[in-house]
Each structure stands twice: as C-alpha cells, then as structure tokens.
Structure 1
C-alpha cells in the first residue's frame, strides 16, 4: 500500500511529503482527505472521465475538495486481491506514518472509499478499538461510495454457479476454475471487514467504529426513481442498494438515481452530496 501523486510513489518521510504537498505546511486547521479506490482499480480511477456534462471541467473530487474545503487530497494505491482486513491493517499503519511525517500537525483525516475502498477504510477504523494508532485517532469522517457492506451480488452469483457446477463430475474442472478468486474478491462477496467475518452471505457486519467517527453511505441505482421495482435488483450494476446503504449501520445515507457504479468516482451529483456532508 502506497501513497501516489502523478502516478509516482510518495515517501512518507517529512521531506518527501513536504515536496509532494507544498500547501501542507500551511498553518491553521489541517484536513487530509485520503482516497481509496475499489477492486481492480488504482488511484488513477478517481480521474476517470465522467459522462458528458457530469462533472465540472473534468476536475477530480480531490482537487475540488482542496478548492472548496481546503482539504489536501492524498491518493492511495493498494493490492485489491488481498484480504480486506489485511489492507485495513496496512492502511492503519500508513495513516500513522502519514501523521508522523506530515510537515505540520494534522487536525483531521477524512477517508473516502469507492466500492471495496470503503470496506478497507471501515476495516482500518474499526481496528482503532483493538490497536489504536496516531493516524486512526485523527479520522473523524468516512465516506463509502457504492461499498457492498453486506456483499456484492455479482460475486455471490459466481459462488453459487461454481457450487452448482461442482455437483457434476464432468463440470468440476470448470467449477474449480471459477472458484479461483482472490481473497479480496471473496471478502467482497460478504462485506467482510476483519479476520473472523467470513460467515454467511448478506449478513450485516458491525464495523464497531469508535465514537466520534461519522459515516456517509452513498447509494447509486440505474433507476431514476427510488421507488422503482427493478432498482433494488439492478442497483448500480455491481452493488445492490440494500448493501451499499446498509441500514443496520450508524451512517447517513444519500441515494442518487440514474447512475452506475463507476459514476460514483467522478459524477457531479456525487461530489455535491459528499461536499455538502463534509461541510456539516
């Protein structure tokens, strides 16, 4: 797991961070916004070109937050094939190094994760209760954009099909091939956040977030109507609204219609609800 800027790795020592983020030495309230991409994505995904007319001049969320809310964007790249809990633990360590190496004391850290990135962020913050670190203590807000908190239906479908094919001897090799999924994808099927959460599909997982950390879950559906009959089934084409907007968790919910899963990375409407929530 590394911090990236302009596709290059940034060291977490004070000198490297000061060179990469010149504005980081400004005095006053210091807010660092950490962006975590989703499955088989990289930090470059946040610069995904939106559909025509859907973003202001194609500007990414981080640049806009820097302008509108004076937050310094920090983009993280990680191996999405690893277990979510392992990436969460590594994120906790990275945040500790970031706080130690930042040129001036950090006031607040905001975590924004797309899809799997939201689960990695929640996993890291959950671990603050078990293994407190200086970095996690600075986290006050967490934004999940289309994160499958109770699992992703596409991945669960692969699991079910592989199980059925495995019942037939002639199709067993195909079933074994389908079952060769990474640990990260297996965790994504269940919304697993830590080591002992590989239980049943679709079961809510209590993140156990520490007091003082607020969450925002942003839910997208292709359907423009929240009451649509097919909206709950199709969702954003990857994650069902019941999973992205898990109501068993303590979180603010925002629903946006007419969007697919990858619109959540750059759509103007998504930025609007996130920026407004961060202002409150």
Structure 2
C-alpha cells in the first residue's frame, strides 16, 4: 500500500533534516581532525578553514533551499489528494520513528509527529458526546484505557495473531476498552500532563455516566500513567475519583538498564579522539533519556543537561491511595534463582524495577506483594500477548 500524503511529506522533511545533521557532523569531525591530526602544535591554516567552512555552508544552504522548495510544492497539493488512511505498516513505522526522535518531529512541526489520541480498535475518537455515542453505541460505564510503550502504538497489543486483552475485558467483564496513541519520544511528563487533561474530557463527555476507570500500561506506558495520575492529583482532576485500578506490565519504575548502559557507553566514547562528533546516540529522544532513571515529572529533567552524568535525583512519586495497583514483570530466567533472569531481566527491564523495589525506602513503591507477579521464561514483549499474563490481568480485574 502506498504511503499517505502526510507520511510522504513528513518523511521528505526528515530526509532534509538528516542531510543537514550529517553535514554538520562531518564538519565538526573535519575540524576535530584538523586540530588534532598530529601530536604536536601546528599553526592553524586559516585559508583551509575558511574554504572548508564555505563549502559546508554551501551544502547546508542548498539543502535548506531544496527543503523549502519541496515543502512549498507539497503545500500546493489539492486537498482532495491528501486524504488516505494509514496502513498498519505505516502506523508501526511512524510509532518506531516517534520513539527515536519524536521530540524533534514535534519541535519541527513534522507531520510524522504523532498527536495524542484516544482510539477504539478501529478508529480515532472525537471527545464529544454525539460522536462518542455514534462511535461506541454500546458504551459501558466501566472504562479501561490501554497505554503502549516506547516506539509502539495500539497495534502492539496484538501480536502473532493472538487475541488482545481488550477482547477479554470487553466480552468477559463488560468493560469498554480504549487505546491511547501518543508520541513516545516526548518527555514522559509532557505526555502525562496531556493525558490527564484528555481523560478529564473523556469522562466529562462519555455518553453514559462513568462508574469506574482503569488504566493498563506496558513498559513506558506505565510511567506515563503514573505521571498522569500525579498531574491529575496536582490539578484536582475529577476523574481521579473514578479510578479503580492501575496495571503496569514490564514498567521500568526505577529506570531501564539498557538506557543506563547506552548513556555509560556514550560517556566513555566522549574520551576517544574523533569519536565525539559521531555520537549519534546523544540525539536519542527525550522519552528514551527519561527511561534512564524513570523520570515522571518536569522537575526531574528541567534545568539538567540530559547527556551529562548525574545520579538519580528524581522526585519520589508515591502510589495513589484508594487505587488498586498491580505490577507484572517478565524474566528470562526459568525461576527466581536462575542467574540469567537477575542479569538480563526481560532484556529491557529488570524484575525488581518492574515490581517497584528499590534500595532507597523513599523510592520503593508501596504495593502489596500479592499484587505483583513475575512471569519466568518470558521477555519484555511477551507480556503483551501471553495467555497466562492475560489471565492474570483478568483475575486482577475480577477482584
């Protein structure tokens, strides 16, 4: 299926952005090599430096001119030719791209940047009573919203042809399941604030009185939910009185070792001659960097250099009183004593982080042990579609 108009336009913009970024990187590396090519001091060749700088400026100028011209051409396209529905492959590709550089896409107003939206399995919802009633004629007073993780979309809840947990929640327990789609490259706190506002609009405009609200988050989605609840609490959102339970699947409550390792590698490479200009890892999104420690609030990242090494200084965010929390973790180990599970966790998140454990008592999440479960012999993404995980979630919802 051919790409839609917005995907083509956004991809073209990103291509020109990439050319500009590569050119700037090459220029930076050129200067670095020119200054440190030999171990003894040399006189700076100003003529060579001026010529090189002029060449790079020319390349950037031509690239910018072409970008503006192509973008203007897209702007002249008739409205009738801009319609089209994204294919599943497009949705997945755009979601992956948003996880990697979604903050850049938003900052440059790129059409590939995903705007936050609530959806059914089939369509995007407009949060107005008549349109909600038309989209969901059998709306229940019990709502459950599923929140995906980094670089994913609502399609990620359906894998390998297996049924999604939303079907069981709807058919067996009478819930109306909805999905959140969002730009996972933005700061978690930015998404949390917006989601808190969106849930208020959802509850205010739902076609029948809302009796209960439940939230399920996978990976980063669990952090977005906890951030959302905190901002709803600070802003006095009414929907908090309707919140009954929160389920977190493989959520790095205290950070992801993969992002921590990536940051440590980047710091080591900064000491290698000529390597710093090519540290493309430092361009990873704000959302990814938030996963280093599990940042939930604006204060956790504002005023700090996200690429500088610093200890975990985030504010402690306790669980809400009166809400039932349930945490599920996966582990590659065959049992709790298997060293493979302690070493690698589920490949992305360690089990102790996923169930809220922490050496610092102030950061440890106060959740009942019987509300936590570790699924052995499974990886991070098995939590999305494993039948035993689904049954555990159904059991938690049935309590």
User: TM-score, structure 1 length as denominator?
Assistant: 0.91
**Secondary structure, aligned partner of 2:235:** coil
Contact in 2 for aligned 1:92/1:136 (Cα 8 Å): no
Cα drift, residue 49 of structure 1? 1.9
Q: Which moved more, 1:94-103 or 1:195-204?
A: 195-204
Aligned to 2:224: 120
**Secondary structure, aligned partner of 1:162:** helix
Question: Which has the higher Rg, Structure 1 or Structure 2?
Answer: 2
Cα drift, residue 144 of structure 1? 0.5
Cα drift, residue 203 of structure 1? 7.2
Cα drift, residue 223 of structure 1? 1.4
CA distance in 2: counterparts of 1:93 and 1:206, whole angstroms: 22
**Secondary structure, aligned partner of 1:10:** coil
Cα drift, residue 245 of structure 1? 1.4
Give the total of aligned pairs.
268
Aligned to 2:290: 187
1:230 and 2:315 correspond: no
**Secondary structure, aligned partner of 1:210:** coil
Cα drift, residue 194 of structure 1? 0.7
**Bigger proportion of residues as strand:** 1
Distance 1:229 1:157, change over 3 A: same
Contact in 2 for aligned 1:128/1:210 (Cα 8 Å): no
1:14 and 2:129 correspond: yes
Structure 1 unmatched ranges of 5 or more: 51-57
Aligned to 1:270: 389
Contact in 2 for aligned 1:35/1:112 (Cα 8 Å): yes
Aligned to 1:89: 193
User: TM-score, structure 2 length as denominator?
Assistant: 0.64
Cα drift, residue 273 of structure 1? 1.1
Residue of structure 2 aligned with 1:157, choices 261, 272, 294: 261
Cα drift, residue 104 of structure 1? 0.8
CA distance in 2: counterparts of 1:202 and 1:243, whole angstroms: 14
Q: Which moved more, 1:204-213 or 1:259-268?
A: 204-213
Query: Which of structures 1 and 2 has the larger relative contact order (alpha carbons within 8 angstroms, sep 6+)?
Result: 1
**Bigger proportion of residues as helix:** 2
Deviations 1:197-233 (A, max 9, x none): 2485667863233311121110101112112112111
Contact in 2 for aligned 1:151/1:201 (Cα 8 Å): no
Contact in 2 for aligned 1:204/1:246 (Cα 8 Å): no
CA distance in 2: counterparts of 1:127 and 1:178, whole angstroms: 30
Cα drift, residue 22 of structure 1? 1.7
